[in-house]
Amino acid sequence: MADIIFGLDIGTTKVCAVVGEVRDEQLQIIGLGVTPSRGMRKGMVVDVQEASVAVAKAVELAEQTSGYDLREALVSMAGEHISCLNTRGVTAIGRDSKGINMTDVEYALAAAQNIPIPHNREIVHVIPREYQVDDQKGVRNPIGMHAYKLEVEAHIVTGSSPALLNLGQCAANVDVSAEAFVLNVLASAEAVLSTNEREMDVIVADIGGGTTDIAIYRQGSVWHTKVLAVGGYHVTNDIAIGLRAPYEVAEKVKIQHGDCRPQEIDAETVFTVEPFGGEKIQVGQQDLAYVIEARVEEIFQLILKEIKNSGYDGLLTAGIVLTGGAAQLNGITTVAERVLNMPARVGSPVNLLGLVDRLNSPAYATSVGLLRWMISGYNAYRPRTSRPSRRFGRVGFSNILRALLPE
């Protein structure tokens, strides 16, 4: 029998609903719905009704292509409200124990969660970094080992409860319950990282529309995460301001003519744009590249600052893997390597089966990664306080469309 899994990526620029079928540990994409995002800003909901309309359309398309009635989903999350910390938890092992079992691991992880958290925040992820069995450090899997004490070092990701409630409500409004939330970059990493990169220490940067999410992997596990409130939207906005053109025009200019390497562009190369006022003007492609380069450099300077703050500067042997929609900018790896002084590559989802024509792009790394997260080992470690699906009122798919869509 095959298992059907559903991921809902509610982003700043698009909503992507992806349905997968898992058979014999193979993931095949069988359903897909993509619509422009509404009611979102910098990864957070600013208008529940508008966002619900976009989610409704994406879910409807995914149901049509997959043939399944979708009711539970892993939902992506982003935004400045997300923060992380590292904690330790300890549990005693009985002297007559036959070895450490999963219950012992759960007790240690539960102890790691005993930390003071403001009432308006909740734990979203509890990810083991490494274990210590008695005096033996650096243990990756303690199951079956004999010891008197088990200690775990865990990476804790927390989020604003109201922000998560708003995000979950957008799904509940179309009769889909948020089974759990997954940080964008952690999902993306599941889709684009190789095993060697995880082992050799790497940083993933998911440069989305409104945010840039980063995660540092060391020795095969997550060691640090951070959400930066800058992304592809800010590049487009800079272009719109410089050209005095509508945002939609600036976005097309960025996609068609954008580049991060002004030194490699002929100064005589121009293209035509229609700004506000309706009179077409000619714009130098090199001038456009200088504008893009400045903002992209700023993004990587912020990433570099976070790497230094985390204490891993100079330790990331495998360099940086860029993903997300903005990672498709021409020349972005050149800027990354110059600013960060490390190898850089653009990562797209790999090893896909089924409906893959539209998903083999960095823009869909989070969407595909949600499905891979669901079938990975990380999904086994759920925080005790994460029960989002019980908090939302439901109204039905047809009702939300009737209530929100114009006549």
Q: What percent of the chain has pLDDT over 70?
A: 92
Q: What pLDDT was estimated at residue 95?
A: 74
Mean pLDDT of 83-109: 90
The answer to whether the beta carbons of residues 393 and 172 sit under 8 Å apart is yes
Q: In whole angstroms, how far apart are CA 294 and each of 238, 260, 289, 299?
A: 10, 8, 9, 9
Q: At what angle do helices 48-66 and 397-404 cross, to 10 degrees?
A: 130
Residue 222 pLDDT class (50, 70, 90 cuts): very high
Q: What pLDDT was estimated at residue 264?
A: 94
Residue 361 belongs to a domain = no
Q: What pLDDT was estimated at residue 397?
A: 42
Phi, psi values for residue 37, rounded to 5°: -75, 150
Mean pLDDT of 301-327: 94
pLDDT reading at 128 higher than 70: yes
Q: Which residues contact 347 (CB under 8 A, 6 or more apart)?
A: 188, 191, 192, 193, 204, 321, 322, 323, 327, 362, 365
Residue 362 pLDDT class (50, 70, 90 cuts): very high
Residue 153: which H helix or E strand, with range? strand 149-160
Residue 108 belongs to a domain = yes
| Residue 322: strand pairing partners | 205, 346
Task: Name the amino acid, one letter, at 73.
Answer: A
DSSP 135-148: TEEEES--TT---S
Tokens of 11: 């982003």
3-class SS at 205? strand
Task: Name the amino acid, one letter, at 228.
Answer: L
Give 85's DSSP letter.
Answer: E
229-282 pLDDT, tens digit each: 999 999 999 999 999 999 999 999 999 999 999 999 999 999 999 888 878 899
Residue 116 belongs to a domain = yes
Q: What pLDDT was estimated at residue 317?
A: 93
Residue 317 belongs to a domain = no
Residue 115 belongs to a domain = yes
Residue 92 belongs to a domain = yes
Mean pLDDT of 326-333: 96
Counting beta carbons within 10 angstroms of the beta carbon of residue 254, is it exposed (0 to 12), middle (13 to 18) or buried (19 or more)? buried
pLDDT reading at 220 higher than 90: no
pLDDT reading at 404 higher than 60: no
Residue 274 belongs to a domain = no
Mean pLDDT of 169-184: 94
* 3-state DSSP percent of the chain in helix, strand and coil, to 5: 35, 30, 35
pLDDT reading at 395 higher than 50: no
Residue 147 belongs to a domain = yes
> Looking at the 3D structure of the chain, how many domains does it have?
1
Q: In whole angstroms, how far apart are CA 284 and each of 128, 137, 267?
A: 51, 58, 7
The answer to whether the beta carbons of residues 128 and 221 sit under 8 Å apart is yes
- Owning domain of residue 148: 83-160
CATH of the domain at 150: 3.30.1490.110
